[in-house]
Amino acid sequence: MSTPQESALGTPEVAREALLDAAEGLFYERGYQSVGMDEIRAASGLPLKRIYALYPGKEALAVAMLDRRDRIWREDLAAHVDLYANPDQRVAAVFDWLSKWLSGPGHRGCAWINAYGELGGTSEAIAGAVRRHKENFRGYLTDLVYAAGAPSTAAEAAFLLAEGCMVTAGITGTAEPAAQAKRALRQLLERATPQD
């Protein structure tokens, strides 16, 4: 017989979201290797049998969580950037959004960089999820820089500035690196040779 909490999580979609929410909270706060499946079971309210029916193991659950986080992260970023029409402002808006994201409550660095640092060398599935996220972000930022009339070298530099500010902010515990990266990007774009 199921508990009231399990009954509330009856549909596969609702159960999957509850499971991914629980896994994301635990993995992001404590890391992947230190979190056991019993803790995920307790946090999600799902029995282990149901968890393993949704995902065959912790690695598959972590990949699904990273992929879902990627989608939500990029949607939030795009919604902020879409508030601006001017191409230069749209590029700068990425760094404004990063500053807000990096200073959010409980921020513990980039979830994908953290995952790669912990498991990227031993799990090709985790490394793949991290690479997908980084390539998605690189492509989005490249499109914005191109729309602003800057060359491919500026797009690559913008991506490296963004990634560098995320790593530095995670280590220092401050969002200031995003503002510094925005200033560096502004100087770079002012000096960039327009596309042919």
pLDDT of residue 14: 93
Domains and CATH numbers, the chain: 1-54 (1.10.10), 66-191 (1.10.357.10)
Phi-psi label, residue 192: left if phi above 0, alpha if psi -120 to 50, beta otherwise: beta
pLDDT of residue 9: 63
How far is Cα 9 from Cα 165, in angstroms, rounded to an integer? 39
Q: Each residue of 67-105: b (16+ CB within 10 Å) or e?
A: ebbbeebeeebeebbeeeeebbebbbbbbbbbbebbeee
For residue 149, give the 3-state DSSP assignment.
coil
List, for residues 16-41, the tens digit of each pLDDT value: 999 999 999 999 999 999 999 999 99
Question: What are the residue ranges in the chain where pLDDT is below 50?
Answer: 1-6, 196
Sign (positive/negative) of CA torsion 152, 155, 156, 157?
A: positive
List, for residues 146-170, the tens digit of each pLDDT value: 999 998 899 999 999 999 999 999 9
